[in-house]
Every structure is written in C-alpha cells, then in structure tokens.
A and B are shown apart, each in its own frame.
Chain A
Amino acid sequence: QKEVEQDPGPLSVPEGAIVSLNCTYSNSAFQYFMWYRQYSRKGPELLMYTYSSGNKEDGRFTAQVDKSSKYISLFIRDSQPSDSATYLCAMTPGNYGQNFVFGPGTRLSVLP
C-alpha cells in the first residue's frame, strides 16, 4: 500500500460544476496538508495549505482534513476551464526530516 493514495482520474466535469478531489493516507504522523495544482509542462503550484483537522476556504477552493479517517479533500466550486490541471495532494509530519509525501495526482478537465 502506498503511503498516500489519490483518485487517479482523469475526471471530466462541465463548467460550473462542484469538483471533489480526495486523498487517503496511512501515516498518522502527518500534520500538515497541501494541495498543488500543476498545469501541463509546468511545476506544481501551491494552492492550499492546512494544519491538522478542519476546513479552510480560499475563494472557490475549500480544503478539508479529517485526521481521524486519514482523509483529505479539495472542493472546487463553480469550476472553470482554467481549473483544468492535475491536482496533487501532499503532506508532511512537519519535523526537521522534512519528509513531504505526494499523491500521484488527479487530472481534471473542466469542459466549457
């Protein structure tokens, strides 16, 4: 079992839809959780960053962490064609080992 699992997709939705992207993990030491967006042939770009359990909202994006279930989600409201990208979840215990572990990514296409 991989340390971080992510729905592989690809996922296609119509413009304006609500998108749910999810990751599960096995290491209970993870405390910090991130979502990155990666456009084709570009580097990953930090989208959301959360600490421990709870929700965090930033515009059309909401990140949700449930540490008891070892499950994190990214919700995109009113999805736009410009949201078409690969989304990577990432997490770290936050210690000095600096072990950042990434999911394999979910490719999202938002169709106009």
Chain B
Amino acid sequence: DAGITQSPRHKVTETGTPVTLRCHQTENHRYMYWYRQDPGHGLRLIHYSYGVKDTDKGEVSDGYSVSRSKTEDFLLTLESATSSQTSVYFCAIKAPSGNTIYFGEGSWLTVV
C-alpha cells in the first residue's frame, strides 16, 4: 500500500464544468504526479510536483491545472471539462530512494 488516496473515485460531469480531482498521500514524499490512461496511449503525464507550490507540465497538460499547497495534497483541475478528457486519472508518488513511482487506485471521469 503506497499510502495514496484519490477522490472522487468516479465522477460524471457535464461539458464546460470545472472538475477537481484530489490526491492525498500519507508518506510525505516530495514528488507527486498526475497521469491519464487511455486505450492505445497508455499512461501519459499531465503535471507533476516536486514540492509545495512547485509544479511543472507534462506531455498532455493543455486544459489542466494543478496546485500543491500542502505536501500531502496534489489537486488536478479541469478548468472546463471536455469529452476528450473522459479518462482514468492516476496519481502517483515517487519514493525518496530508488527511481520508481507508486500509483493510487485511479479516478474514473466521464464528461458528457
């Protein structure tokens, strides 16, 4: 158990509405990530954080923003949800030793 909790786990929302997904860790790790997973594309990095208030863009950051005001929480916001953002979103943390990351259980988002 990597000590990662994602919420909500499932959400259906309408096009144009803002949506925030939350990732909470109990391990106090520095690095946190948001990925989306889609058939044929695998896991793609949206944004990551390397500390409180320190974030950077990933491969597919358009339409997403993040915030990290506390070490334990990393929020992903879809500013105006579109159908192309229907996906499974995974939060991950990097262990301080070794170069591996550990994933949460995922948040299933459907934009209708």
Contacts and interface: CB of A to CB of B under 8 A. Distances in A.
Which interface residue of A34, A42, A92, A98 has the most chain B CB atoms within 10 A? A98
Contacts of A105: 42
B40 A44 contact: no
Interface string A47-71: 0010100000000000000000000
B103 A49 contact: no
Task: Please classify how large the interface on chain A is, using the bins under 10, 10 to 19, 20 to 34, 35 or more.
Answer: 20 to 34
A46 B1 CA distance: 11
B94 interface: yes
B71 to A, nearest CB: 16
Main secondary structure of the interface of B (DSSP, over half): strand
Contacts of B106: 41-43
Interface in B44-98: 44-45, 48, 50, 90, 94, 98
Given A103-B42, A105-B42, A43 B105 contact: yes
Nearest to B40: A104
A44 B100 contact: no
A94 B105 contact: no
A25 interface: no
Which 5 pairs show the lowest CB-CB distances between chains A and B?
A104-B42, A43-B103, A32-B99, A102-B43, A94-B99
10 contacts: A34-B100, A42-B106, A43-B104, A43-B106, A46-B100, A88-B43, A96-B50, A98-B48, A98-B94, A100-B33
Interface of B: 31, 33, 40-45, 48, 50, 90, 94, 98-106
